[in-house]
Amino acid sequence: MGKARIRVELFEDAWEIALEPVAMVAPLPAELHAKIRATDRDLQFAKARRQVLLSVQEAQLLLRMFTAAASTCAQNGDSHRLRLAGDRSRHLIDALRKEARF
């Protein structure tokens, strides 16, 4: 399972939560942050998005960050970012479950 790769495609506003986390949320490790930043944005649709190929461990780190961000946003009453972080958490959980089946 360590060599598995998970393709994560998110709209730019969700990646912004990962790249610039809210207060009280630990930032992503520098290597993962740089990997996401280095990935080109797809601008051909109405909303920009990035597709990043992650290891299982990187996906788990991203999941922890989105879960912590959702909790902090809930406490701060930021319903928009709460919804984004919560939805992305579910997206990552589904991707990790799918990978675990193979």
Residue with tokens 């610039």: 20
102 pLDDT higher than 80 = no
Q: Which domain holds residue 46?
A: 5-101
pTM of the model: 0.87
- How many domains is the chain partitioned into structurally? 1
pLDDT tens string 43-67? 887 888 999 999 999 999 999 999 9
